[in-house]
Structure 1
Amino acid sequence: MNTIEQQLWDYIDGNLDDSSKKAIEEKIESDAEIKSQYEELLKLNLVFNELDLDEPSMSFNRNVMESVATVPAPVAMKTRVDKNIIYCIGGFFVISLLALFGYVLYHSDLNMPKFDFNVNLNYNLDQYITPTVLYSFLFIDLVIGLIFLDQFLRKRINKH
């Protein structure tokens, strides 16, 4: 539906304010095509008003509810999966993994390399722990503590 048609329907139904109503009246008077469209919509509106709406019988609701009650409730489909199929699929994957593991063992050198593990634990802590780091750590702890305190107090208030 285009905008002029929507505006004409709103004009026919009386859903427009005064300024929009005057603008549509001017369009109808000035444009012959809009006037013919307006007249067609008026005729259609009259036909719609003359139609009688069919109403269901008084017992329609009861009849529908009774027919729904007689239909059996759908049952979840119970399919049975053969356990042999699952065992075959699982066996295939186990055999595939064992074959892969055997291939890796066959093509690998089982000599363990000698680990030379020299760890130097002589750190200059004064280089890493500066007042800025310490203040930052304390600030973060303070913020976390305030968050936990807020949660604790909110839970306590909600209980009361």
Structure 2
Amino acid sequence: MWDYIDGLGSPEERSAIQILIAENIEWQHKYKELLNIHQMMNDAELEAPSMRFTKNVMEEIARHHVAPATKTYINKNIIRSIGAFFLTLIGGFLVYCLGQFKWSAPSTSTNILPHIGLENEMKKLDWSRVFNSAYTNVFILVLVILGLVMLDMYLQRKRQQRQAGES
């Protein structure tokens, strides 16, 4: 019935409630009672606290020291260990990728330094062995995003230090 009073509901529900209100006395009394409550709620004004109360609350908040963002309760060693973990994962992944190369030097080399032939090896490298699963691709994507976030945090910290030095 509240939906009917608020003007909500489907036309079928509204017509069914209209019929019940017109035919049933109990529904008529309940409808009038709910309509009165609805009207009283619409007429009631929301009370706001006095300006003095608001000022007192704001002064009380200002007296207490509010903890700065996350610097005081996040241990920097934890952040560093997480960064080291991901850097280790990236390093391991690079070692795995480089392990896919065939590093044998050609035997006919006349150079003093052995010729690695990296260009030819890159052409021969079977990338499907390295990037063959969705898990590897998702892993690389997550690592790149985390690396960009860490770079952003580092650059932001440097900018804040520079601005603090200028002040």
**Structure with larger Rg:** 1
Tell me, yes or no, whether TM beats 0.5: no
Normalising by structure 2, report the TM-score: 0.37
